[in-house]
Chains A and B, each alone.
Chain A
Amino acid sequence: MNVFDVIGPVMIGPSSSHTAGAVRIGNMAGALLPGEPVRAVIGLHGSFAKTGRGHGTDRALAAGIMGMLPSNSDIPRSLEIAKERGLDITFEEIELDGAHPNTALIQLWNRQGDTVTVQGASVGGGEILINSIDGMGVEITGNQPTLLVLHRDVPGVIAGVTNYLAMNGVNIGGFKLSRRKKGDTALMTLELDELPDESVTNGIRCFPQISRCVLIAPLQ
């Protein structure tokens, strides 16, 4: 066990689950949207809705979307900073069936109109679990480099991607596939042992059946 998990992390208070974890959920949502977000609709569920403002969960999520880390002293001012940057944020209370009490549902848009919807839970001690991306079930902790590949659900795509990673010496530590229905769009989530070179993700993007490929560096 790492001593800096016990003496640390350095974070903006008051709560590792309601503040630090919320920043990390925001980080993940921000990383999944191409370019800068201009609009965000943030749904707060359970304890996030009940005690969110007192814990700064709203400001923490906003800060995370803009890429701030959990130790950034600007987190308390993040809503004002979002305004200055032209990011329009709306908060709403929501109820999600069976979701963890500390769950946020974040939809983001960029200037080009691209959008992404991310549901994530803060599960304690600043640890998070992203449960779904654009309605497709995932299980992402953000602790390892994570590769997300959106593709057509046809034979050979998974083999193609995993072989390509193997050829480039990248080891896969975890794998999950999720799809809306057979033959439709599918999402591969690959947890990798090390962060691959940009050329590897560019190579995967050239595969004919692949519409999007995003590599997320481990969250801090």
Chain B
Amino acid sequence: MPSVAGYVKKAEEQKIPISQVILAEQSREQEQPREVLEEKMRQMLQVMQESAREGENPELRSHSGLTGGAASKVMERARQGESLCGPYFGKAVARALAVSECNACMGRIVAAPTAGSCGILPAALLTIMEEKGLSEEKAVMGLFTAAGIGTVIASNATVSGAQGGCQAEVGSASAMAAAAIVEMMGGTPQMCANACAIALKNVLGLVCDPVAGLVEVPCVKRNAMGVVNALAAAEMALAGVESVIPADEVILAMKRVGNTLPATLRETAEGGLADTPTGRSIAQTFFQQEIR
């Protein structure tokens, strides 16, 4: 089984970033030259850029009418320099909303790792590229680091909300993004592992409770939380703050927490926000419309 510690060790031994370890390993496993894989990842980044643009459309609305248009409001505020924590923060939140709203409105997205959590990586990477003036190349390599963390989580735990709750989707995406940001900002492999661990620890236990079973409420806004959490974790890790619990142990803890979550809180739309008076009433109205 792959492990975060394993990747960190290899990266430290060879004095290369985690992304290069992942790229070399994938090139061997998939029997493809590195350039081919890099190009494929670049295409993923391009689709992410397109989804972020599409999601900023103020007129965008989902079929149910529950989501759409939030990204445009937040981006407007950020562009006018009114964002609480500076433009980077406002734009990251807006892009997480944009890509998630694009998804909710049947736009084209990259599942990263899932459709429900597709806003977090694009928000983190595209915004850091823009604000810090980093190259596309750096972002592509950031995606390989994120993917490496994602494969560890998928192999040792789960990235499915139906199995592990929202912590497995938004939590995993947040941990992947945190590690990617650290590497893009020049942090060490161990700092990437710390960022991954901190981000995932912060959302342990987060339940999957979609209103009416749709990938909209609360999923879209949880993507915004996911990118903010990734930034906080990356900020701590880059400053040299360490995670007391190592990343691989956090991942296993996430799996065990997921296993103990009742089925009502794992994507069945029977608990949490789905089971509030407003949540139930939305579901009822929506199902009546469906039948008609």
B251 to chain A: closest CB distance in Å? 14
Residues of chain B within 8 A (CB-CB) of A14 are 62, 103-106, 115-116, 214-216
The interface on chain B, measured as residues whose beta carbon lies within 8 A of the other chain's beta carbons, has a size of 53
B258 to chain A, nearest CB (A): 14
Q: Does any Cβ of A come within 8 Å of B160's Cβ?
A: yes
The closest CB in chain A to the CB of B114 belongs to A16
Q: What total of chain A residues lie within 8 Å of the partner, measured CB to CB?
A: 35
Binary flags per residue of B147-166, CB closer than 8 Å to A gives 1, else 0:
11011001100011010000
B33 within 8 Å of A by Cβ? no
- Is B108 at the interface (CB under 8 A from chain A)? yes
Per-residue contact bits, chain A 1-35, to B (CB 8 Å; 1 contact, 0 not): 11111111111111110011000000000000000
A124 touches B109 (CB 8 A): no
Task: Judge whether A125 and B160 touch: CB under 8 Å.
Answer: yes
Main secondary structure of the interface of B (DSSP, over half): helix
B26, CB-defined interface residue at 8 Å: yes
Contact of A51 among B44, B151, B214 (CB under 8 A): B214
Are A53 and B106 within 8 A (Cβ)? no
Contact B2–A13 (Cβ < 8 Å): no
Asked if B170 is at the interface of the complex by the 8 Å CB criterion, the answer is: no
Is B3 part of the binding interface, using a Cβ–Cβ cutoff of 8 Å?
A: no
B109–A51 CB distance below 8 A? no
Is B215 touching A7 in the complex (CB atoms < 8 A)? no
A11 touches B160 (CB 8 A): no
Interface residues of A (CB under 8 A from B): 1-16, 19-20, 47, 50-56, 59, 71, 73, 75-76, 93, 124-126
Identify the 8 closest CB pairs spanning chains A and B, nearest first: A13-B103, A6-B150, A3-B147, A14-B215, A51-B213, A76-B106, A1-B151, A7-B147
